[in-house]
Amino acid sequence: MSLALQVHVGIDTVGRDAWNALAGPTGDPFVRYEFLHACEASRSAVRQTGWTAQHLTLSDGNGRLLGAMPLYLKWHSQGEYVFDQAWADAYMRAGGRYYPKLLSAVPFTPVTGPRLLVAPGGDGQLVRSALIQGALQLAGSLHVSSLHVTFPTETDWQALGAHDLLLRQDQQFHWENRGYGSFDDFLAALSSSRRKTIRRERREAQTGLDVRVLSGSDLTEAVWDSFFAFYMDTGDRKWGRPYLTRPFFSQIGETMAERIALMMAYRDGRPIAGALNLIGDEALYGRQWGCIEDVPFLHFELCYYQAIDFAIARGLKRVEAGAQGEHKIARGYLPTRVRSAHWIADPALRSPVARYLGQERPAVEAEMAALAAEYSPYRS
C-alpha cells in the first residue's frame, strides 16, 4: 500500500469533515476538530503562546485519510500536566537545548484519549506504526530534543512503547458508575460517615443558591462572560496566567454546545460560580472551575457532586474530574492510571530519564494501591 504522511501547520488545513471522520467515532470530545480548532482560532494555542501546530496525517495512494495525530512544536512545558521541567532544567544546565520539543496532546487538557487516530475499519497496527514513525522522522528533521505523547489510551501507549518510547505512568482520580440509578444509590455504596458528610456538604453548598446545568442554547454570551470572569479569577489566584482566551469559550459554545454541561450557581439571580464539563460518549470530563464568592463546599458541589448526578442521569460510565487532588477520594473518586510516552534524542539525557521512570512506575502503582486501601469511602 502506498502511504503518504503530511504535516499541517493548522488543523483547518485538514478540514472538519476529514478530521472528524477519524475523531468522531472515538466518542472523545477533545480530539474533535471543533475543540482543537477552537484552541487555535481563539489564539489560545498558537506560536505566540508557545504552541505551533504540526498535525500529522496519513493518507493512502488515493488521498483517503487513514490516520492522524494532533501534534505541536512546543517552546515550553506549560499547559501539559505531565511534568518534564526537571528534565529540561538538567539538560540545559549540562549545555543542551531542550526546547523546542514535539508534543502530541490536546492543549491544556489532562484527559486520556486517542492520540493516534485511525479511520474506522482501518488497520490500526499499520496506521499507528506509520504515524509514530512519521512523528519520529519529523522530530529528527526539526532537530528537536524530544517527542512526548501525553494522556494516550493504553492501546496507543503500548504502540508507542513498541517503537522504543519511554513509558511513564501517573494517577488521577475518577468516579466510576457502578450501575447507580440515582445519587442516593451512590451514597448507599459509601460508608455511613461518608454519606453523612456528603449530604451535609451538599446541603451547606446549596443553601441560598440556585444551581443549574446549562447546555445547548442555554450557553449565551452573557453566560460565557460570567464564566470567563470565574475562570480568570481562579487563574489569577492559583496558576498565574490562564491559558484560554475569552473567544475560546464562545467558539466551543457555538460549535459543540450539546457536548457541554456547565454547572452554574446563582445567588438572587446573579451568577457566582461555575464548573465547565465536556460530555463524551462514555464519560463526563470536568475542566475549568471558578467563583467570585467563597461558599463552603461549593467547589465540591459543582465539580464533583453535580457531575456525578449528571453522569447517573445520562448513563455515563465515569466522571474524570481533572488532574491531581487526593481530596477527591473522599468524594468517591478513586486512583486511576494515566499514561505518557517519551522519546529523547540524546542518550546522555535518555539514560537517566529511563532509570528514573523505571523507579517511578512501581512507586506510582504502590501509591495508588495504598490510597485506595486506606482512604476509599466505599463500604467493604
Summarised one tens digit per residue, pLDDT across range 178-208 is 999 999 999 999 999 999 999 999 999 999 9
Q: What is the mean pLDDT of residues 334-347?
A: 97
Q: What is the mean pLDDT of residues 316-341?
A: 95
Question: CB–CB of 174/320 below 8 Å?
Answer: yes
E strands, 151-269, where? 166-176, 210-214, 260-267
pLDDT at position 241 is: 72
Q: Which CATH number is 16's domain given?
A: 3.40.630.30
Residue 119 has pLDDT above 90, yes or no: yes
Bridge-based pairing state of the strands 318-320 and 283-291 = parallel
Residue 259 has pLDDT above 80, yes or no: yes
In a domain, 152, yes or no: yes
- Work out the pLDDT band at 134, boundaries 50, 70, 90: very high
Q: What is the pLDDT of residues 48-83, one digit of tens each?
A: 999 999 999 999 999 999 999 999 999 999 999 999
Residue 4 has pLDDT above 70, yes or no: yes
Contacts of 298 (CB under 8 A, 6+ apart): 205, 209, 265, 273, 291
- Work out the pLDDT band at 240, boundaries 50, 70, 90: low
Burial classification of residue 345, based on how many CB atoms lie within 10 Å of its CB (0-12 exposed, 13-18 middle, 19 or more buried): middle
Residues 185 and 276 in one domain: yes
Q: What is the mean pLDDT of residues 319-347?
A: 95
In a domain, 326, yes or no: no
In a domain, 348, yes or no: yes
Residues 165 and 294 in one domain: no
Q: What is the mean pLDDT of residues 289-307?
A: 96
Residues 221 and 248 in one domain: yes
pLDDT at position 372 is: 94
pLDDT at position 169 is: 97
In a domain, 331, yes or no: no
Calculate the average pLDDT of the chain.
Answer: 96
Bridge-based pairing state of the strands 3-8 and 55-60 = antiparallel
Q: What is the mean pLDDT of residues 213-228?
A: 98
pLDDT at position 325 is: 86
Q: What is the mean pLDDT of residues 142-163?
A: 98
Residue ranges making up the domain that contains 346: 3-170+338-375
Residues 153 and 210 in one domain: no
Q: What is the mean pLDDT of residues 221-247?
A: 85
Residue 129 has pLDDT above 60, yes or no: yes
Cα distances (Å, whole numbers) of residue 244 to 40, 46, 187, 272, 374: 10, 11, 35, 20, 37
Residues 157 and 83 in one domain: yes
Rounded distance between C-alpha atoms, residue 132 and residue 362, angstroms:
26
Residue 291 has pLDDT above 70, yes or no: yes
Rounded distance between C-alpha atoms, residue 144 and residue 287, angstroms:
30
pLDDT at position 242 is: 86
In a domain, 329, yes or no: no
192: cell is: 455511613
Q: What is the mean pLDDT of residues 8-28?
A: 98
Looking at per-residue confidence, does 233 or 76 come out higher?
A: 76
In a domain, 380, yes or no: no
Which of 282, 316, 350 terminates a domain? The answer is 316
Rounded distance between C-alpha atoms, residue 352 and residue 368, angstroms:
24
Q: What is the mean pLDDT of residues 212-225?
A: 98
What single-letter amino acid sits at 242?
Answer: P
Residues 303 and 348 in one domain: no
In a domain, 228, yes or no: yes
In a domain, 93, yes or no: yes
- If one counts the domains in the chain, the total is 2
pLDDT at position 236 is: 60
Give a three-class secondary structure readout of 91-158: HHHCCCCCCCEEEECCCCCCCCECCCEECCCCCHHHHHHHHHHHHHHHHHHHCCCEEEEECECHHHHH
